[in-house]
Amino acid sequence: MRQLILASALAVLPLAAAAQDDPVSQAIEARQSFYTLLGANMGALSAMAKGDMEYDEELVARHAANIEALTQYFVPMHFIEGSSNAEAENTDALPAIWENRDDFEAKFAALGEAAAGASDAVRGGQGNIGPVLGQLGGACKACHDDYRD
């Protein structure tokens, strides 16, 4: 098993090295990593809200705190020229981002506003998660509708 893991790690090293030399690939990878983390935490909140995962007040607050922290990271800086889906592979970022940059950044800021206080708001019972998810989901949707393919 160790050999398989080592072989797998060694196999991706050339890809990682190539990505380091390509700012577009780096930018796409950085923003996709951000959204993967955001999605994992949103997914956990959703699972607890639906009852698919046992409600745990401390855990739900941690997931919400992660979202609060993540939204303080200025991910729009990773939407560099040449990294739209019209110019690069493996991205759903529409060219409209670069055509309407101020609106795109405002919508990202709105996600941060929606996340503010989420770690306190989800406490007190499973029923408190839904309204927080609604705010966060609305902010996500506002951006996805205009800027994601």
Known binding site for heme c: residues? 140, 143-144
For residues 71 and 112, the answer to whether their CB atoms sit within 8 Å is: yes
| Angstrom distance (rounded) from CA 16 to CA 26 | 9
| Angstrom distance (rounded) from CA 78 to CA 21 | 15
Give the annotated binding-site residues: 140, 143-144
For residues 67 and 136, the answer to whether their CB atoms sit within 8 Å is: yes
For residues 94 and 149, the answer to whether their CB atoms sit within 8 Å is: yes
| Angstrom distance (rounded) from CA 109 to CA 88 | 25
Torsion sign, CA atoms 34, 74, 46, 48: positive
Query: How many residues comprise the chain?
Result: 149
For residues 133 and 45, the answer to whether their CB atoms sit within 8 Å is: yes
